[in-house]
Amino acid sequence: MLYCEEEWKPDDITEIDARSMSDGTLRFIAIITALLTRPEGSQLVIEDVDDGLHTSRSELLVRMLREIGQKRNIDILITTHNPTLLDAFGSDIIPFVVISHRDVETGDSQLTVLEDIKKFSKLFASASLGKITASGAIERSFSHDE
């Protein structure tokens, strides 16, 4: 059984078992555990990395993914639909972002590097990655580009 200790006041430690933790907290612990136990130099794929995680924890998750990933030389591939998480990564993540979308003519799934979108410069002159994603501007650019 998994137990954690919380200390909200000095010397006032409360033991919490996993049955009392939220799904987001358990997922967060599982992700960090996976990062710490994977062999160095390996890869880790996490689908919907922030699923169940409170949006206020996006920056903490991003910081820990970066720090542990770099320290242990682990390549991390994540998926998300969360604009807050995308913005927490900052603009230095943009060269590594791949968009999954449907071909407007065939309906086939496509993967496109974000920077390869024809209207990329115009899109990012106006707002952050999270805001552009939330507004649907990326999807609209595919329907007009292809």
Nearest alpha-carbon partner for 94 in 54, 59, 124: 124
pLDDT at residue 19 in the model: 85
pLDDT in tens, 69-120: 999 999 999 999 889 889 988 888 889 999 998 888 888 999 999 999 888 8
Residues in the chain: 146
Show me where the domains of the chain are located. 40-145
What percent helix, strand, coil does the chain show, rounded to 5? 50, 20, 30
Model confidence at 144, pLDDT cuts 50, 70, 90, reads low
pLDDT in tens, 35-59: 999 999 999 999 999 888 888 888 8
